[in-house]
Amino acid sequence: MMNAANSSARPSGSGALASRPPAHRRIDVVRPRIESAVKALREGATVCVIEDGPAGAAFAVAAGALCSGESVNAMVAEAGGIIACTVSDRRADQLDLPEIPRRKCRPSTPRYAVSVEAATGVTTGISADDRARTTLVMCDPSTRATDLVRPGHIMPVRVDENGVLRRPFGCEAAHDLVHIAGLPDGAVLSHVIAGTDDLDTDAAARFAEERGWPVVSVADLIDYRATHEVLVRCASEGVVQTHAGDFLVRVYENTVDLGAHVALVWAGDGPEEGTTPLVRIHSQCLTGDVLHSMRCDCGDQLQVAMRSVADARTGAIVYMAQEGRGIGLANKIAAYALQDQGVDTVEANLLLGFDADHRDYAVAGQILRDLGLTSVRLLTNNPEKVDAMRRLGIDVLERLSIEVIPGEYNRKYLQTKRDRMGHLLKTLD
C-alpha cells in the first residue's frame, strides 16, 4: 500500500465525465414529474411509484384522506395487490399499531403493522366502502387508538419519519408524495402485479402510462427532497492546523440520519483566480483513517485529499459519518469476519442483509451547497458519486482519480470495487 506521505500520489484528471450535462438538467426533469404526481393526488387520482433497480417493486398510490369505495375498487382491479395505508412510526405508536416481526425479508419489504378496521361505520370490513372508511379513519389526525379494531382488512405500513431520505423504498416515497401534496399524511397503495408476479420497473412504467397515471421513481423523490428542503445546519466551527495546512472545521447536524458530519474547508492562502474548488466526499473509516488498516485504501485517500486541497488552495473534504459504506462500525467488523472466510466486500454486506453500498449522498450535497460549493472538481474513483452530486444540484466539472498502489492486504478489496461496483481504478491493470 502507498505511504500517505508519498507526494507522487496526486489526483489525475478525467475528461470523460467533465463533458456530461450539469446536474440542474436532471433536477429540471424531476421537478415536473413530482408536480404532475402531486396534482393528481390532490385531485383524488392514482399515481405510480417505482422503486429503483431491476428488482424494485411498483405501487399504485392515492391520497388516503381522499379515499372512496370507487377508488378502492379501481385500485384492486388495476393493481391487484393487497390494499395498505402508510403511517409514520410516531403516528403508528400513537394508534397502537405494532410492527409485525420481519424475518428473512429484503430491506425494501414494506414494514407491515397489525391489520386494522374502523371501529364504527363498517359491516364486514372487506367491502370497498368499508376499506375506504378504515383508510379515512387511519388518515384522520383526530383518530385515537380506540377508533380502530384489530385485526381487520387494511394493512398499515409503518414508514420512517424522514421517508425516502432514510429508507429509499416505495412505501416511503408514497407517504412523502402525499405530504408534499399538502394533504393529511397517509397514502393508500397496492403493489402493481400481473398474474402471479410483480411487474418489473419498465413494465410497470408502461402499465401506468397506459392508464394515464403519472410515474415517479424513488430516486426522483430523493432528488426532489434533497434540493427543495433544508436538511443540514452548521452546529459549530473552528480552525484546525494539520500537516497539510489550516482547515476550517464545520460540524453539521442533519434531520436525515441525526448524525454529525464534518466539512474540512481550506482556510489558508487563496487560489489563483478562476480556480474551481477541489472537493472530496469521504466516508468515515475508523480502521483506515485512524488505525491505518492495510485492508482498504481509505486512510491514504484522506491524506492525499487533504494535500490536494491544500495544493489547490481552494475546496473542502466532506467527512461523512457513514462507516462501512453506511452499515455502521459493528456490522463492518462483522463483514471483515465474513471476508476472512473468503467472500468479498459486496457479498459480506449482502449476507448481513444490507445493500452492497448503503451510503446516501443527499446530506453531502446539502453541505456543499451550504458551503457555496455548487461547481466543483470531484476527487473520486466512484462514478456514482459524480452522478449523485449532479442529481443533487452540484455541477461536477471534472472527476479526478485518487488511487493508491495496491498491496497484499487490499488488492482483493480494490478489485471488488472495480469489478463489482464500477470504480475506475487503473493501478490494478
Tally the residues of the chain: 429
Q: What is the pLDDT confidence band of residue 11, given thresholds at 50, 70 and 90?
A: very low
Instruction: Indicate the average pLDDT of the chain.
Output: 88
Model confidence at 226, pLDDT cuts 50, 70, 90, reads: confident
Domain residue spans of the chain? 12-23+231-322+359-421, 46-212
Nearest to 135 by CA among 177, 182, 188, 180: 188
Angle, vertex CA 251, rays to CA 245 and CA 255, nearest 5: 150
pLDDT in tens, 367-405: 999 999 999 999 999 999 998 898 888 999 999 999 888
**CATH T-level assignment (fold) for domain 12-23+231-322+359-421:** Rossmann fold (3.40.50)
pLDDT tens digits, one per residue of 46-78: 999 998 876 678 899 999 999 999 999 999 998
Could you report how far apart the first and last alpha carbons of the chain are, in Å?
15
Distance CA 39, CA 37 (A): 5
Q: How many CB atoms lie within 10 A of CB 38?
A: 21
**Cβ neighbours of residue 41 closer than 8 Å, sequence gap 6 or more:** 47, 61, 62, 63, 66, 177, 178, 181, 183
Distance CA 48, CA 212 (A): 10
330 burial level (CB within 10 Å; 0-12, 13-18, 19+): exposed
Per-residue pLDDT tens over the stretch 192-221: 886 545 666 677 778 888 889 999 999 899
pLDDT for the residue numbered 290: 95
Residue 198: what pLDDT? 60
The phi and psi torsions of 262 (rounded to 5 degrees) equal -125, 140
Catalytic positions are 357, 359
User: What is the pTM (predicted TM-score) of this model?
Assistant: 0.75
pLDDT for 36 equals 95
Question: What fold characterizes domain 46-212?
Answer: DHBP synthase (3.90.870)
In this prediction, residue 237 carries a pLDDT of 96
CA–CA distance, 187 with 352 (Å, rounded to integer): 31
Percent of the chain with pLDDT over 90: 63
Measured CA to CA in angstroms, residue 267 lies from 240, 308, 314, 413 at distances of 9, 14, 8, 34
Q: Provide the pLDDT confidence category of residue 15 given band limits of 50, 70 and 90.
A: very low
pLDDT tops 80 at residue 5? no
Q: How far is CA 309 from CA 130, 320, 370, 395, in A?
A: 63, 17, 18, 18
pLDDT, tens digit, for every residue of 176-196?
Answer: 999 999 999 999 999 988 654
State yes or no: pLDDT of 13 exceeds 70. Answer: no
Instruction: Report pLDDT digits (tens) over 248-286.
Output: 999 999 887 778 999 999 998 888 888 899 999 999 999
More confident residue, 25 or 203: 203
pLDDT score of 54: 64
Domains 12-23+231-322+359-421 and 46-212 share a fold: no
pLDDT score for 283: 94
pLDDT average, residue stretch 315-326: 94
pLDDT category of residue 26 using cuts at 50, 70 and 90: low
- Tens of pLDDT along 73-119? 999 998 888 999 999 999 999 999 999 998 878 878 899 999 999 99
